[in-house]
């Protein structure tokens, strides 16, 4: 959407670019977020980044992060925060960090699926562990900035080290998903978190709540007769009210020999 709006000339991209000077002096804090939503103008590199998101981002969400929506959101938030910290160093700064965030996703996927077979343009087949390095070489050929890719890989390795490598080495798992992320996901009502410490908001994602009516004009609650009406029907028919639901017949039983 950001690229399409730029193509239509609806805004100036430098109004959403990362600029710490504008953030701290002019209080344009939206730049800390909006710079992650711009992948550049329409180009082969833009299409390549979009495919990477659609493929490897979805594979992560359906694979290691299946039923862990809050953890997946926290991975993206941590990656964005790490990139913002690195961008504070002058020679690591970039106006738009979306490409770096995409490379972080690809790097985490490569560590989760190191033995997966990947084919690049049907020419080269390699294991998933080497995918980020192969993409780095392709960006070098296409003339894209390598610094964005490298800091994205650094952010991805930092996340993977804190969440997987360090605990496996015997260290404490201190990098838990914060409670406010769980609450945010529960409030949105999107996805599933199997170990969520908060309950999902039952009203999340519901556009309308009200009384339901059947097609005959009666309320759904009035579809079954009341207890008094059942007694009146039973007395009028000369039978006792049925105390068990789902019983089609009640009466005396007889054996086949007539006794």
Average pLDDT, the chain: 79
Q: How much is the pLDDT for 106?
A: 94
Q: Is 72 within the bounds of a domain?
A: yes
Of the listed ranges 97-101, 156-160, 189-193, 198-202, the one predicted with least confidence: 198-202
Q: 7 is written with which tokens? A: 């193509």
Q: Is 171 within the bounds of a domain?
A: yes
Confidence class for position 109, pLDDT limits 50, 70, 90: very high
Question: What is this structure's pTM?
Answer: 0.73
Domains: count for the chain? 1
Residue given tokens 């997987």 in the structure block: 164
Q: Give yes or no for a contact between 74 and 178, defined as CB atoms under 8 angstroms apart.
A: yes
Whether 36 has a pLDDT exceeding 70, the answer reads yes
Q: Give the rounded percent of residues in the chain with a pLDDT score beyond 70.
A: 77
| Residue 240 or residue 187, greater confidence | 187
Q: Is 35 within the bounds of a domain?
A: no
pLDDT (average), residues 139-156 = 88
Q: How much is the pLDDT for 204?
A: 53
118, β-bridge pairs: 126
Pairing of strands 124-127, 117-120: antiparallel
Q: Is 47 within the bounds of a domain?
A: yes
Domain that includes residue 160, residue range: 40-188
Q: Is 221 within the bounds of a domain?
A: no
pLDDT (average), residues 37-45 = 88
Separation between Cα atoms, residue 215 and residue 198, nearest integer Å? 38
Q: Is 51 within the bounds of a domain?
A: yes
Q: How much is the pLDDT for 107?
A: 95
- According to DSSP, residue 202 is labeled T
Q: Is 237 within the bounds of a domain?
A: no
Q: How much is the pLDDT for 74?
A: 94
pLDDT (average), residues 37-62 = 90
Separation between Cα atoms, residue 152 and residue 1, nearest integer Å? 22
Q: How many CB atoms lie within 10 A of CB 118?
A: 17
| Residue 227 or residue 67, greater confidence | 67
Separation between Cα atoms, residue 14 and residue 179, nearest integer Å? 34
Q: Is 120 within the bounds of a domain?
A: yes
């Amino acid at each position: 959407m950001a690229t399409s709006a730029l193509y239509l000339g609806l805004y100036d991209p430098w109004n959403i670019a990362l600029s710490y000077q504008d953030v701290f002096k002019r209080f344009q804090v939206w730049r800390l977020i909006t710079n992650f939503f711009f992948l550049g103008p329409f180009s082969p590199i833009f299409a390549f980044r979009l495919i990477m998101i659609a493929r490897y981002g979805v594979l992560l969400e359906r694979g290691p992060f299946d039923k862990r929506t809050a953890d997946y959101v926290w991975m993206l938030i941590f990656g964005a925060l790490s990139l913002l910290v690195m961008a504070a160093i002058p020679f690591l700064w970039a106006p738009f960090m979306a490409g770096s965030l995409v490379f972080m996703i690809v790097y985490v996927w490569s560590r989760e699926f190191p033995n997966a077979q990947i084919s690049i343009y049907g020419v080269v087949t390699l294991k998933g562990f080497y995918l980020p390095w192969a993409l780095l070489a392709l960006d070098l050929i296409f003339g894209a900035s390598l610094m964005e890719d490298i800091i994205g890989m650094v952010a991805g390795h930092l996340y993977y080290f804190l969440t997987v490598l360090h605990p496996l080495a015997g260290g404490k798992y201190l990098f838990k998903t914060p409670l406010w992320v769980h609450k945010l996901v529960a409030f949105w009502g999107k996805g599933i978190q199997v170990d969520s410490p908060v309950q999902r908001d039952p009203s999340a994602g519901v556009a309308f709540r009200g009384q339901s009516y059947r097609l005959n004009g009666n309320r759904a609650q009035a579809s079954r007769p009341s207890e008094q009406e059942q007694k009146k029907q039973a007395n009028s028919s000369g039978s006792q009210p049925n105390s068990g639901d789902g019983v089609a017949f009640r009466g005396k039983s007889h054996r086949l020999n007539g006794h």
